[in-house]
Structure 1
């Protein structure tokens, strides 16, 4: 990849030890491979400097530190290891003249990332992030994975506050950038939805004078995004997508189901029929966004069709898994905001049998949190679901707001194990269960409990 001496020069650090070469970069001593550069990141719980010795034992070529460690390993001393990781990634990205696609939005970032990666992989090698590597550490680590085999790179960008996407965009220097949508998410850190929109539009900051913006004509902020893009990228091009008839790439005749979704994708004068192996109208929207991204990167319509139809769902993002007693289980436990929950409820509502909704609380919604929870509860009631459970502390105002919104029949559970036992009692082979909530709600424990019971039954019958 490069030498420690070269890395030190890039980040303005001082090398203590030899200038050996390193193969890749890691911030986790547990997954580090021999020959890697270990970057010691101070965290809220653990300080990477405490693991420099472990990285040396694992065969690291060197370490980047803010404080020299008494460990027999070459070390690059810098003022700030997070900042230096970004500087190293930016320098490395500049060595590659390939389409670099950047993706942000309140909902669907990871799904679109997987979809467009599937499309572009029909053409050539495509770099994309491991898991949701979309912050000040994940984006640099993804960029540092670029090599000469890659024809494309796809980068996901998230934010909890103003300026974060601006920073990530300037590291990434995207040639194509998408804002998938904007809704109430991370309100505490960003303010109202308009402020969220402005934070997302920072994705255009690192594009230079040329590049392509992928604009969602179905989103009410699309005009502001186009205007901001033209300010940031004066010689840039705009490619629109959506269900709107004016969109350059659009979805027509949508037929979303609880198992899959079918629609016609119009690209210029050509129409192709897509059978998407993901449920919901929101995934038809995600597919159109992915098609526009890929088209801007040079993909042909047939590659777009194959890539979309070969897409697989991301773990914890409305992924269908087998539940107990043969029930359908929608694992949407990764995260939640009002719009994403309503989209998932729409999918559950299409199931022909018994429908059970299990929600954890939505975090980072600020003072409007209770009202958002009431709105979601009322929306679930309108969809005629058979049972609604919410999980939260006994005295939680947010869970109480869910119950108030749904009305009669809603159940507030404060113990996950008790809730799992209740679900086991309720479920049969004509039941679908949707589990969703913010990360802080740890709804994956509900999913794991149900799946574990299913596996135990299968093992016992063998």
Structure 2
């Protein structure tokens, strides 16, 4: 190449970026050993981090975690057969490795090193309902705007192991990092947030999930507000303006000197819904307003809950300095996640039926939202397969029996209730009041997903039917979805 070409203004003026000096590989052996305080057996580089030998792919670092009943060291051979480049272990092995005293603590240390080396804008997401979907939508929005330089926690890796694993996987060159945080008990979100140290903390909504352990809605709101305790100085709190716990959340954020951005229908919302109408693809055409203008965009996911979720996404993208127009395009292209709204066309006598897969999680708020969505879905018949909602404790009978109202409002033709807790709903629907007026609802109760498969086959899905499958993951209704799809 000639000197004249090298002096061309296009080369001279190309903007420099400090990230360009960062390594392209995820981790090298020396960096891992330094981060975890261990000793590397040899030099190596890895492209990913994994804790399950079944999920290891070529170039991964396998972390051999030890639990009360399981020891990851037993699966080292399987991990390396699947392509692991190295492992973190607490004993010498005949594979490339970093030797440490405690592999769980090593994973946390590697996560802390990943967080410490990045200049990415970090976002933490929690909430009783919708956190995985909102996390994915934020990621899709920022990945589009940054041309692939966004990172997020995969699946629902949102607990004391999943969060550090997701952090350890974050490339040094990332411009954005989005991390989901979940909890069953008070105090858990705080620990996760202090690891993630988000610049932006998002709470999707407050609903009676895990009320068995927390005892009240106020306690749930306080537990979710723990996410603000890990906020970086000058951070942003994104909270639902329509929640009855809005003021509690706002005060908790302000106590950490956070700037509050709210979203919703309420007049005081910073990202406020002006209008939402059905779109041709089954989703919604949304118009929102904020301090510097308005934005109209399409949300591919159906349901009013996704209209509100989209406002949380827009608030977060704006706070992160992202492109709201790019976020609108991402929302228009998003499809449902497996177990969380994925829609399947299934071949049945006469043509095709729709199966809506919400089998991964369920609580009273999400049950109502998805039943309302079913009620708005064009179909010849509406069928609901509903599994028990777990972790409701003494409130279980109350919340299960209360599903009778949205079930009737959705104009469901046939329902299957799965699990012991669903007996309360069956008893409620068995009362004379539900059989005296309007279209009768045909329903069955069973104990397992296998029995539900038999009942649904016996009833017979036909062309034009819409089938909603929703329940807590432990009920196992994902097996029913897999069977029919």
The alignment's TM-score, normalised by the length of structure 1, stands at 0.89
Residue in structure 2 matched with residue 160 of structure 1 by the alignment: 184
Aligned with 2:363 (options 331, 337, 340):
337
Deviation digits for residues 254-283 of structure 1 (CA, Å, limit 9, x no counterpart): 235892122212232422222211111000
Aligned with 2:484 (options 450, 455, 458):
450
1:50 corresponds to 2:83: no
Alpha-carbon distance in 2 for matches of 1:364, 1:190: 10
Is the alpha carbon distance of 1:60 and 1:274 closer, same or farther for their aligned partners in structure 2, counting shifts above 3 Å? closer
Which secondary structure does the structure 2 equivalent of 1:38 belong to? strand
| Alpha-carbon contact 1:378-1:405 (below 8 Å) kept | no
Is the alpha carbon distance of 1:98 and 1:70 closer, same or farther for their aligned partners in structure 2, counting shifts above 3 Å? closer
Aligned with 1:376 (options 378, 381, 403):
403
Alpha-carbon distance in 2 for matches of 1:323, 1:178: 36
Aligned with 2:319 (options 285, 291, 296):
296
| Alpha-carbon contact 2:212-2:395 (below 8 Å) kept | no
Which secondary structure does the structure 2 equivalent of 1:327 belong to? strand
Residue in structure 1 matched with residue 393 of structure 2 by the alignment: 366
Gaps of 5+ in 1: 452-462
Residue in structure 1 matched with residue 295 of structure 2 by the alignment: 272
Alpha-carbon distance in 1 for matches of 2:158, 2:49: 16
Residue in structure 2 matched with residue 186 of structure 1 by the alignment: 210
Is the alpha carbon distance of 1:307 and 1:33 closer, same or farther for their aligned partners in structure 2, counting shifts above 3 Å? closer
| Alpha-carbon contact 2:372-2:409 (below 8 Å) kept | no
| Alpha-carbon contact 1:317-1:331 (below 8 Å) kept | yes
Residue in structure 2 matched with residue 454 of structure 1 by the alignment: none
Gaps of 5+ in 2: 1-25, 436-441
Residue in structure 1 matched with residue 238 of structure 2 by the alignment: 214
Alignment of 1:8-407 (within 5 A): 8-12=33-37, 14-15=38-39, 17-18=41-42, 20-43=44-67, 46-56=70-80, 60-66=84-90, 68-69=91-92, 71-79=94-102, 81-124=103-146, 125-232=149-256, 234=257, 236-255=258-277, 259-325=282-348, 326-352=352-378, 353-392=380-419, 396=420, 398-407=421-430
| Alpha-carbon contact 1:240-1:249 (below 8 Å) kept | yes
The alignment's TM-score, normalised by the length of structure 2, stands at 0.85
Is the alpha carbon distance of 1:51 and 1:421 closer, same or farther for their aligned partners in structure 2, counting shifts above 3 Å? closer
Shift of 1:24: 3.3
- Count, aligned residues: 442
Which secondary structure does the structure 1 equivalent of 2:274 belong to? strand
RMSD: 2.3
Residue in structure 1 matched with residue 447 of structure 2 by the alignment: 414
Alpha-carbon distance in 2 for matches of 1:205, 1:213: 11
